[in-house]
Structure formats: structure tokens, C-alpha cells
């Protein structure tokens, strides 16, 4: 069973960030984040990581959107540990960081599960933008993510979700 945590010795941060980036580079469905973002998230306990032995088996990123709100994203769970409760452990640990959360997914089954199991509700983009104080939209307008955001939004229907707000 994978171990899930969000606080790590500072000496491990670079190794964890590198392992996440290496894995993300090998999976085209993952929108990567800059190394500096991951290192900052590790410093502040906002990158929730599952380890299966020495290997990184999954992660969930919590990006702050002002006081009490965060965007949850950059989720990955290795196929070898899916079904072992790792996703639940990652999500529960990430949800505990802030009382309110925003997120987007293009996977309707996952969105319905979040709504049913974790109290999210589906909302329009304007609500996610308001709750996140504009951070959600600004992140997608960043040069490194704009192209990815445009490809994803044209590939399927976005499910915008909020929890606790």
C-alpha cells in the first residue's frame, strides 16, 4: 500500500519534484508544472505525494487562490496502485489543506464521483473564477499553459467544480 504525505524533509524536495516531472513527461495526459512550482508547493506542504516504496506512485497539487481557497489539480495515480485507496488518500489529504476548493476535469465519471463522494458541485466557469478570486482563469492564461488549456477545452466538455464555497 502506498504511503501518502504532504510534508517531507527539505533534503528530499528536489528528488520528489524530479520524480514527479519525470513521470509527468512520460504521460501525455498530464499537464506538467514548472519545477519551481513543485518545489514551492513542497516547501508549503501543498504537493500531496503517494510513495510506493521509494517510487512516486501519485500526487495531487493544491495551488492557493487566496485565503481559504485552493485549486486542486495536476492529479496522477500510477496504474499499479489504482484501486488501493491511493486516490482517496491523496484527495482527502489535499482537501484538508483549505476549506474551499475549485477544480476542473474533462472526465464526467470522475466529476460525478467528486460530487457524490466529496461534496463538490458543478458550477459555471464564472463561479469558479469568482470563488478562486480570478486565480483559476489567470493560471490558464499563463504562456506555458494556454496552449494546453485550449487543446483540452476543445477536446471535450469541462466540468467546473467547487467544494465548500
Q: Where are the domains of the chain?
A: 3-163
Closest CA to 160 of 76, 84, 72, 92: 72
Distance of alpha carbon 30 from alpha carbon 141, whole angstroms: 18
Residues 6+ apart with CB under 8 A from 74: 30, 31, 33, 59, 60, 61
Overall pTM surpassing 0.85 (yes/no): yes
Residues 6+ apart with CB under 8 A from 4: 48, 49, 50, 51, 86, 89, 90, 93
pLDDT given for residue 94 in this prediction: 96
pLDDT given for residue 146 in this prediction: 56
pLDDT given for residue 43 in this prediction: 98
The per-residue pLDDT string of the chain (165 residues; one tens digit each, 9 = 90 and over) reads 799 999 999 999 999 999 999 999 888 777 788 999 999 999 999 999 999 998 999 999 999 998 899 999 989 999 889 888 999 999 999 999 999 999 999 899 999 999 999 999 999 999 999 999 999 988 878 766 555 555 555 557 889 999 997
What CATH number has the domain spanning 3-163? 3.40.630.30
Amino acid at each position: 500500500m502506498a504511503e501518502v504525505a504532504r510534508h517531507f524533509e527539505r533534503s528530499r524536495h528536489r528528488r520528489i519534484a524530479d520524480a514527479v516531472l519525470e513521470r509527468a513527461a512520460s504521460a501525455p495526459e498530464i499537464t506538467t508544472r514548472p519545477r519551481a512550482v513543485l518545489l514551492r508547493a513542497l516547501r508549503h506542504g501543498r504537493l500531496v505525494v503517494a510513495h510506493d516504496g521509494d517510487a512516486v506512485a501519485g500526487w495531487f497539487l493544491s495551488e492557493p487562490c487566496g485565503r481559504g481557497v485552493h485549486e486542486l489539480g495536476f492529479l496522477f495515480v500510477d496504474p499499479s496502485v489504482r484501486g488501493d485507496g491511493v486516490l482517496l488518500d491523496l484527495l482527502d489529504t489535499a482537501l484538508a489543506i483549505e476549506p474551499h476548493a475549485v477544480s476542473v476535469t474533462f472526465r464526467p465519471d470522475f466529476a460525478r464521483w467528486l460530487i457524490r463522494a466529496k461534496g463538490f458541485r458543478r458550477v459555471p466557469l464564472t463561479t469558479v473564477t469568482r470563488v478562486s478570486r480570478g486565480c483559476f482563469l489567470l493560471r490558464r492564461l499563463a504562456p506555458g499553459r494556454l496552449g494546453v488549456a485550449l487543446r483540452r477545452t476543445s477536446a471535450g466538455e469541462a466540468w467546473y467544480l467547487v467544494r465548500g464555497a
